[in-house]
Amino acid sequence: MRNQILPLTPSCVWRFFYDICKIPHTSHNLKEISDYITAFAEARGLSYSKDSVGNIVIYKPASEGMNGRKGVIVQAHIDMVGQKSLSSDHNFTTDPLTIYEDNGWVRAIDTSLGADNGIGVAAILAILDDNSIAHPEIEALFTLDEECGMEGARLLDKDFLRSSIMINTDSEEDNSAFIGCAGGIDFKASLNYINEVCNIDGIAYKLVIKGLYGGHSGVDIHRGRANANKLMFRFLNFISQAYNIRISEINGGDTRNAIPRSAEAIIVVDKIFRNDFLKEVSLFAKLYRHEYDTVERGVTLTCEECDMPNGILPVEFQPKFINLVEATPDGVDRMIPNIDDTVETSSNLAIVKCNNGNAVIQILVRSTMESRKYNFISRLFSLYSLVDAEIELFGDYPSWSPNLNSPILNIAKEFYRDCYGEELKTKVMHAGLECGIISSIYPDIDMISIGPNMLYPHSPDERVEIASVEKFWNFLLGILKNAPLK
């Protein structure tokens, strides 16, 4: 049931989150939210700095009686992943998000919510805004473009930060502190071809796979959800061999770090195979629903007639391209042997596009072990070298190695135990966190990552639990109040 947003607790956090939701702030579209943050600082007489790429630090002196404690960096990224339902006409470059309360959670109508990492941004602003909160000297670090390769953190100036403790606010479980994360790298392959003229006595169809959950390719990769690109090429592989169909174009996935929720293809079917082809569409639709009925809400595979295309893939290129994508690994590659339920290495077949003489495949590889990350990339090179693809690597960022003896972790554990009467869980996240990059630039910073409960980030089903936001807020304040003595 969709309800209007009611006053929520803590109001100091939610009011800033509401402001953030009004400002378009997907990656590389951050001027307005950056201006909002600097105007916030100026209005409160807080000094701030911008580094060479636009990362922002706002400084706030220690509150009364807290000067004897070490300063703390509190960090969040200001961009969000823009994902919307197929029926939505939302424009992420110009439109505000429309949010609502749904049975104890906050969501956005037909779009991702941006609680990743908007709640963290809002909590930091609330700390800076309230002079009654006990805290040491604060460096509030707001980084750019985390969702597209952690570009802001990677280009962080080496003399920008001065404190030796950092709390990252970009994790998604309110009973856990994350002390490590996977590194990642993007693999992009391009192949060129020359379209053949389509002179087949056939019928053109638009194939559509949709209805998938998708989700964050790090946080959700272990859930066994369907990847729309893999489903599409599995079907194309079968029908191209059985009925000699020809492909004109393919478009699957649109975000490097989101599991693809939909894929489309324009194909041409010989008229004599029309009925058989339509039966196969129906059979595969049922097959996919059956295979994923425990993890998906309802995969659909549909087709409808469309205009005959001018060009189709060359007869020798089509099977090569289909086999290439079919053979591309996707999902969990290996679990960490000595840490329960934690992914070590994975890949996400994020984007596949093929049209007008150019085919592009983009894969995001993650691993908590640098050696295995690069070994996986080597395996992809071996596969794609078989078709002489042009390869590009980018967005390489390091993993964050756990420190079980972290002083700030021990403070967090003690406060959590005293406050909630249970032990704080310590985990390693398979998704990338900026902690890995920042620790490579500032190796002496002691850091942890905390956050409220969130589900399905990087998808239109993204949501944040209202009660856990209050718990996260109190936990954050408790850690700051108990920061180590100098």
* Tens digit of each residue's pLDDT (9 = 90 or more) over 418-466: 999 999 999 999 988 999 999 999 999 999 999 999 999 999 999 999 9
- With CA atoms as reference, report the closest residue to 352 among 342, 341, 360: 360
CATH number of the domain enclosing 329: 3.30.70.360
Catalytic residue (one of 51, 137, 145, 146): 146
169 and 201 together in one domain: no
CATH number of the domain enclosing 23: 3.40.630.10
Residue 69 lies inside a defined structural domain of this protein: yes
pLDDT attached to residue 1: 38
Give the percent of the chain with pLDDT over 90: 93
Local structure of residue 258 (DSSP, 8 states): B
pLDDT attached to residue 4: 56
Does the pLDDT at position 2 exceed 60?
A: no
305 and 334 together in one domain: yes
Q: Number of structural domains, the chain?
A: 2
Does the pLDDT at position 6 exceed 90?
A: no
| The domain boundary residue, chosen from 397, 420, 435 | 397
Flag the least confident range among 116-120, 254-258, 274-278, 416-420. Answer: 254-258
75 and 150 together in one domain: yes
Residue in the structure block whose two tokens are 């790429």 = 53
106 and 225 together in one domain: no
**307 annotated active-site:** no
Does the pLDDT at position 365 exceed 70?
A: yes
Does the pLDDT at position 148 exceed 70?
A: yes
Tell me the residue range of the domain where 441 lies.
11-182+399-481
Does the pLDDT at position 68 exceed 60?
A: yes
452 and 361 together in one domain: no
| The domain boundary residue, chosen from 380, 397, 414 | 397
- pLDDT bracket for residue 89 (50, 70, 90): very high
Does the pLDDT at position 5 exceed 70?
A: no
196 and 136 together in one domain: no
Catalytic residue (one of 79, 139, 333, 465): 79
Residue 6 lies inside a defined structural domain of this protein: no
pLDDT attached to residue 431: 87
72 contacts: CB under 8 Å, gap ≥ 6: 135, 136, 137, 138, 139, 163, 165, 166, 167, 480, 483
152 and 47 together in one domain: yes
**Do residues 177 and 426 touch, judged by C-beta distance below 8 A?**
yes
**370 annotated active-site:** no
Give the percent of the chain with pLDDT over 70: 99
Which pTM was predicted? 0.83
213 and 296 together in one domain: yes
Residue 202 lies inside a defined structural domain of this protein: yes
- With CA atoms as reference, report the closest residue to 186 among 395, 422, 355: 395
Does the pLDDT at position 287 exceed 90?
A: yes
| The domain boundary residue, chosen from 397, 432, 453 | 397
d(CA 412, CA 393): 38
pLDDT attached to residue 174: 97
What mean pLDDT is predicted for residues 342-348? 96
Does the pLDDT at position 245 exceed 60?
A: yes
